[in-house]
Each structure stands twice: as C-alpha cells, then as structure tokens.
Amino acid sequence: MRIALSGASGLIGHAVAKALAGAGHEIVTVGRAPDCAVRVDLATDANLPAGALKGCDALVHAAGVTDEDFADRDAAFAKALRGTSALLGAARDAGVGRLAYFSSAHVYGPLEGRLDEASPVNPLSDYAIAHYAAEQLFRRSARMTGAATLLARPCAVYGMPPSLERFARWTLIPFDFPRQALGGAIVLKSHGSQRRNFVPAEGLGALAGWWLENAASGVTVANAPGKAECTVYEFASLCAKIASGENGRPVAIERPGPAAQDGAPALEYLTRVGGHLPGPSLEEHVRGMVRALGTKASP
Amino acid sequence: MRIALSGASGLIGHAVAKALAGAGHEIVTVGRAPDCAVRVDLATDANLPAGALKGCDALVHAAGVTDEDFADRDAAFAKALRGTSALLGAARDAGVGRLAYFSSAHVYGPLEGRLDEASPVNPLSDYAIAHYAAEQLFRRSARMTGAATLLARPCAVYGMPPSLERFARWTLIPFDFPRQALGGAIVLKSHGSQRRNFVPAEGLGALAGWWLENAASGVTVANAPGKAECTVYEFASLCAKIASGENGRPVAIERPGPAAQDGAPALEYLTRVGGHLPGPSLEEHVRGMVRALGTKASP
C-alpha cells in the first residue's frame, strides 16, 4: 500500500513509519522538512501541491497539534483547522480510501472514571478542542467520500525519540521525569494524583498497521490504551526508583500540597477496539531514557 | 441585574435585549458598533478593555459565528475562538456569575431523528464546529469559575429583523423564502426534504430572561425549540401560499430533483428544559415579512 504520512519525524509518526515500512508499505512523507516527499507547512499552507497524494491508498495524520504549539494559540488552531483541511482536501482529490488521525484522550475532558469509545466527548482545553475539531474534519471527509477512517485517542505516549537532539516534547512526563530524575529531583507542577494511561508509540504503529490492513468502512474511534495506568506521582516514583538504581544516587520528588488530594479520581482507560497495545513496558522505557540521557550528558 | 450582551443589533440579540430590558434589567452592549457601551471587535481583538464587564452580573453572548462569516474561514474561526475567549476572560476578571451562549442545533450534526440535550454531539460543518468550540470555551469558564452557564442550541430562528436595511442574514430561509416569494418564485438549492425546527427570536429572549432569573448552577444545555417543525419544502410552500394570498399572484416553487427523496429523514427537535418557546407563529412571521418587504419595495 502507498501511504501518505505526516509527522514522520515525531514520536508517533516515526513509530508508524517504522511499523508500516516493516510491513512492506511504501511511505510518502508529508511535512515541511526538506527531506519530505510532499512539502507543506501545515501551520500556514491552505493547500497541498496539486496532485500531491495521487496514487496514495491511505493518509495517516500524525502531526496534530502539540501542547507546545499553544505558545501561539492562533497559530495552533490554524494548524489544527487549516492544516488538517489541506491534508483532507488533497486526500479527497486523490480518492484516498483510508484515513487515520492521531488525536488525544483529552477530547473526553477530565481523565476520570471509565472511559471507552462510547463515552461522551467534552474537550475543555484549547489542546483538546483543537484535536476534537480536527477529528470532526476527518468525520466530515469520511461522510463526503466514504473513506474508512480511524480516529485514535492515545493518552500519555512513550518511546525512544527518533533523535534526542531534535526532540521537542520535553514537557511530556514520559520524557520530562526521566530527564529530571538524572538531576536528582523530580519537581511536580501539581499534587500528581491525576491518573494517566501510558501507551508505547510502537503500539500505535502496530495499531495503524493493523487498521490499514483491516479497515472497516465508516469511522472507527480507538482509545489505543497501553498496559500501564498510574498516577502522575506514581510515575514520578517509578522514574526516581529506576534512575536511583541506575546511578546509585537518591532521587527526590517534590510536589506542592501533597497527600491531601491523594484520593485520586479513578481512571480506567478502556477500548472496544482490540486490547492493550503492544510494545516495551513503561519500566523499559524509563530505563532506556535514563541510560540514553545519562550517556549523552557524560563526556 | 446588570447584563453584558453581545450581538444586540442582531436578530437574537435584539430580542434578548428587548426581553431583558422589559424585565427591568440593565443592558451593557458589547460590540464594534459606535453605540456599544463596551467597544470590541470580536473577530480581531484578543481582549476587552480592562475592567470592561466590571459590575456585570451576567454575560449573554449572542454574536456567535454566522454562515456569512465563513466567507473567510480563518476569520470565522478566529471570531469563534478568540472573540469568545476575549468575552470570557473579561467575565472571569469581573467575577460574572452567569453566562449564556447562543449556539446552534447543528452541533448535533445531521438534523435527523429524535434530538434532545442528551443526544451526542457531532458537529460536521465548519459552522457547527466553530459553535461547538465556543460552547466548550463556555464550559471551561464555567468549570474554572463556577459560573452558572446556559448553552442554547436553536435551530431555524425567525422574527422581524430590527432593521430590514441593515439586516445581513438573507441566506437564512425564514428571511430568504418570504423575500423570494415576493418575486413570484422560490428557488430551492436542494430537494428541500430536510426537516427544520423553527423558533421565534422572541422566545429566545424569553428563555434568556427566564434562565437569568432561575439560573441553576453548572452548565445547562437547552435546545430551545419552537412549535413549528416542517421540511424546507413545506416551509417554501407556506411562504408561497401566504405571499400569493397577500398579493393575489401565484408563487412557483422550483427545486432540483424533486419528489424522489421526499421520504425525508424524520426530525423531532425536543428539549428537557421547559417546552416550546413562545412567540409569534411561523405563519405570522411570514405574513409580517411579506408585508414589510412588499411595503418597502413599493414606492
């Protein structure tokens, strides 16, 4: 299959590219990097070059908005709305029959209680609203063209970044906490009692590959959960323990207003589409990050 | 009560202003018109003047995006997102305890089947996505501040425009069809079998007044249905009949590909918040429009 892919240099897109190439698919990268096969800046361009996706069987959009994008809110929404429309317009022009979008668990609103794909949406942050709006643009295209469409809603994604030097997502806890742990202390911005589901990027690659081979008609929402589910504080503790074990030095955890709110709202991040996604365990990820960053920091 | 109101020169806002002033409330108009008490261009300004809503007990936002706004899609989304945020930011600064937003029935997606406030949302058009995004900004403010919040989702709103000369919503069928009928023919863009609920702007004013007096805490969604529910074709027939009766000349109805699809998808636009909203009947509205436009056209 010939598959157009945005975000191939990012955490999810890289894993998707690897999984799809490994399964024998041809990847057509779409983005602003000089080495992309189709050059477009999704934050500013309203269209892809004419015929850009000609001959493609699928479009996988793994370059949705990030938290960092919201440093410029207008630009972030433009990326979510105009960028997604540009991709979908080109996909319609080329008669692309399969669409996939990596959205976010945050479209459900506060991550509390049992959440599966039948749960009502309630996007509250700008980040969540932008992802939900992009999802809806995919739904509209699916309705217009009949393209089989996957909307994946992963929670906290982890995995070894394709390049530690160029990685830009250090505010995400799967990367921030291992890095902080190397410095001897992890500082939480909140009490850390909110629960998160952690999913390996590799598993998202597997999901994309599985779905493209088995694409049902209509729109499929997949929460794409991983096996690990714990509070932010518990994840910090895991990072502290692993970093301490690796380096033989204690790692402190600091948080404002601690145990009072530790009756954390429960979260069960569930799916009706397959089960937990495969990939390295959260422990393996943290150990890998600690080692990679430790090696990098050493002379 | 002192109530900040955007969109006071529009169809809904005008009716709201009339209802609220009639109930003894003080109105603080917000908008770009020279006679507004608080001057702001919601399409471009990121903030209201400092302290703009000081002393206000409520904010009613009746200047959401219109179909016409989407002639410039980027500007329309900017108005929905930045404009709404500007209003809500000022409301938070001023400790405004009641919020109301006039959204759209289109946030439910295709207007088919039984729809009440428990029905899932599925905004598909840009117009619907923008209204839903604005709703969510209201939800977020409500969550942050505890402000009691009304999200009204009217379908086709009718009523005598405050000024026929300055009225800018002639693409809406409650205004377009009576105007076309005066010319002797109503031309439908579609087969016209889609059903619509018609609600008088006056009823929306009554809803706003009732809600402000009885504001429950939390977020209240109100579909705000009117009594009249029929297909677009049936509404055209009503306009033709009334205009013909008024002027003694027949009025034709033209539509592409007629009766084939007349097994129209059913719509019942229901509410769990009160009942049908009061106001002039749809027939009275059409007769009023035909007479007003006929008088205006005559020398």
Statement: residue A261 has pLDDT above 60: no
| Token pair of A179 as six digits | 């890095």
Q: What is the pLDDT of residues A46-97, one digit of tens each?
A: 899 999 999 999 999 999 999 999 999 999 999 999 999 999 999 999 999 9
Q: Please answer yes or no on whether B129 and A137 come within 8 Å at the CB atom.
A: yes
To the nearest whole angstrom, how far is the Cα of A82 from the nearest Cα of chain B?
Answer: 8
Q: Which residues contact B277 (CB under 8 A, 6 or more apart)?
A: B199, B200, B202, B203, B204, B206, B207, B224, B225, B226
Statement: residue A299 has pLDDT above 50: no
Q: For chain A, which residues lie within 8 Å of any Cβ of chain B, measuring from their own Cβ?
A: 73-74, 77-78, 81-82, 120-125, 129, 132-133, 136-137, 139-140, 143
Give the residue with greater pLDDT, A241 vs B260: A241
Contacts of A81 in chain B (CB under 8 A): 73-74, 77
Nearest residue in B to A82, CA atom: B74
A vs B, Cβ pairs < 8 A, gives: 42
- Integer CA distances (angstroms), B70 to A65, B65, B176, in order: 23, 8, 18
How much is the pLDDT for A124?
98
d(CA B97, CA B215): 10
How much is the pLDDT for B234?
96
Q: Dihedral sign, CA of B179, B181, B187, B193?
A: positive
Statement: residue B299 has pLDDT above 70: no
Q: For chain B, which residues lie within 8 Å of any Cβ of chain A, measuring from their own Cβ?
A: 73-74, 77-78, 81-82, 120-125, 129, 132-133, 136-137, 139-140, 143
Question: What average pLDDT score do residues B125-152 get?
Answer: 98
Q: Which residues contact B290 (CB under 8 A, 6 or more apart)?
A: B178, B181, B182, B239, B242, B243, B246, B247
How much is the pLDDT for A262?
56
Q: Please answer yes or no on whether A120 and B125 come within 8 Å at the CB atom.
A: no
How much is the pLDDT for A89?
97
To the nearest whole angstrom, how far is the Cα of A218 from the nearest Cα of chain B?
Answer: 14
How much is the pLDDT for A289?
97
Nearest residue in B to A45, CA atom: B74
Long-range pairs for A260-265: beta carbons < 8 A, 24 or more residues apart? A260/A191, A261/A191, A261/A193, A262/A191, A262/A193, A262/A233, A263/A193, A264/A193, A264/A194, A264/A195, A264/A231, A265/A110, A265/A112, A265/A113, A265/A193, A265/A194, A265/A195
> Can you list the domains of chain A with their CATH numbers?
2-157+198-222 (3.40.50.720), 159-197+227-293 (3.90.25)
Question: What average pLDDT score do residues A247-262 get?
Answer: 81
Q: How confident is the model at residue B32 (pLDDT cuts 50, 70, 90)?
A: very high
Question: What average pLDDT score do residues B214-229 get?
Answer: 95
Statement: residue A126 has pLDDT above 80: yes
Q: Please answer yes or no on whether A139 and B124 come within 8 Å at the CB atom.
A: yes
Least CB–CB distance from A136: residue in B120, B124, B140: B124
Q: How confident is the model at residue B297 (pLDDT cuts 50, 70, 90)?
A: low
Q: Please answer yes or no on whether B123 and A137 come within 8 Å at the CB atom.
A: no
Question: What average pLDDT score do residues A4-33 get?
Answer: 97
CA B222 to the chain's CA centroid: 13
Question: What average pLDDT score do residues B193-207 get?
Answer: 96
Question: What average pLDDT score do residues B239-265 get?
Answer: 84
Q: Please answer yes or no on whether A124 and B143 come within 8 Å at the CB atom.
A: yes
Q: What is the pLDDT of residues A129-162, one digit of tens each?
A: 999 999 999 999 999 999 999 999 999 999 999 9
Q: What is the pLDDT of residues A155-206, one digit of tens each?
A: 999 999 999 999 999 999 999 999 999 999 999 999 899 999 999 999 999 9
Contacts of B82 in chain A (CB under 8 A): 73-74
Question: What average pLDDT score do residues B252-278 get?
Answer: 83
d(CA B127, CA B53): 28
d(CA B239, CA B146): 45
Nearest residue in A to B136, CA atom: A124
Nearest residue in A to B126, CA atom: A137
Statement: residue A260 has pLDDT above 60: no
Least CB–CB distance from A133: residue in B74, B129, B143: B129
Q: How confident is the model at residue B208 (pLDDT cuts 50, 70, 90)?
A: very high
- Integer CA distances (angstroms), B66 to A85, A250, B7, B39, in order: 20, 59, 11, 20
